[in-house]
Amino acid sequence: MKTPIETVRTTITVASAVYGAALFAVGVKLGDGAKQLVAYLPMVLGFVAVAFDKWIWRWRFVLPWVGKPLVRGAWLVTLRPNAKSQIPPGGNRGPIDGAMVIEQSFFSLHLTQYTDQSTSQSCAASIRRVGDSDGQSLLTSVMRTVQTWSIGRAAPSTTAPVSYKS
């Protein structure tokens, strides 16, 4: 199943290609130079929007201008549940070692977190400044699926807000 951003990218790419092909097929003759450029501008902008979302925004000379940190990749993490965490008696109160995979484009952010007891997938995620802090935090709401063997040691599958700070 495609994510919403993949559907948007596909739609923009197909619409841009169909528009360009239609102009070519009907033999639009607007003259040279600026008129021709204006005719094909929607097609070019569609492709540029998709390219920007996937690649261009993270180029070294563009990244400082967009104001977003580049956090995509695979990360080793250590989880430290807070006192309010809903952990059953005898459950693991941490620290819990795991891994996190972050998929990031300009318009989307998705996290998958793995521990030996559960897998968590983000339902929504964003990077933003929290309160008066100088840095930014990665905020997400996750859907956790507990491994069958650890059901008595970890809370059942839940959706919960999570905050990660560097």
The answer to whether residue 94 is domain-embedded is: yes
Whether pTM > 0.85 for this model: the answer is no
**E-assigned strand segments in the chain:** 73-79, 96-104, 109-115, 118-129, 136-146, 159-164
Euclidean distance between CA atoms 129 and 118, whole angstroms: 28
Euclidean distance between CA atoms 32 and 22, whole angstroms: 18
- How many domains does the chain fold into? 2
* pLDDT given at position 60: 92
Tokens of 16: 């841009």
The domain in which residue 130 lies consists of: 73-164
Euclidean distance between CA atoms 39 and 109, whole angstroms: 34
The answer to whether residue 79 is domain-embedded is: yes
* pLDDT given at position 157: 47
Same domain, 49 and 121: no
Same domain, 155 and 80: yes
Same domain, 91 and 32: no
The answer to whether residue 26 is domain-embedded is: yes
Q: How confident is the prediction along the chain (166 residues), in pLDDT tens digits per residue?
A: 567 777 888 888 888 888 888 877 887 766 667 777 777 788 888 889 899 999 999 999 998 898 888 989 999 988 887 777 777 777 777 788 899 999 999 988 999 999 888 888 888 888 887 778 777 888 888 887 776 555 554 555 444 455 555 4
